[in-house]
Structure 1
Amino acid sequence: MTLSDPHQLATVLEGLLLASGKPMSLERLCELFEEAERPDIGVFRDALSILARSCEGRAFELKEVASGYRLQVRERFAPWVGRLWEERPQRYSRALLETLALIAYRQPITRGEIEDVRGVAVNSNITKTLLEREWIRVVGYRDVPGRPAMFATTKGFLDHFNLKSLDELPPLAALRELEPEPELALDDDAEVPAGLQARADLALQEDGEAAEPREETSFRSLLAELDDMEQGLKTDFDDLRLADDADDEQDEAHVVDQDADESLH
Structure 2
Amino acid sequence: MSDQEQLFDLRAADDAASHPIRETPSEAERTHMRLCEALIFAAAEPLGEEEMAKRLPQGADLAKALANLKAEYFGRGVNLVRVGKRWFFRTAPDLAWALQREQVEPKKLSRAAMETLAIIAYHQPCTRAEIEDIRGVALSKGTMDVLLETGWVRLRGRRRAPGRPVTYGTTDKFLLHFGLEQISDLPGLDDLKAAGLFDGRLPKGFGVPQPNDGSALMEDEEPLGEEPLADAFASDLPESDAAD
Q: Would you call these one fold, judging by a TM-score over 0.5?
A: no
TM range (shorter): 0.3 to 0.5
User: What is the TM-score with the length of structure 1 in the denominator?
Assistant: 0.33
Pick 1 or 2: higher relative contact order, CA cutoff 8 A, min separation 6. 1
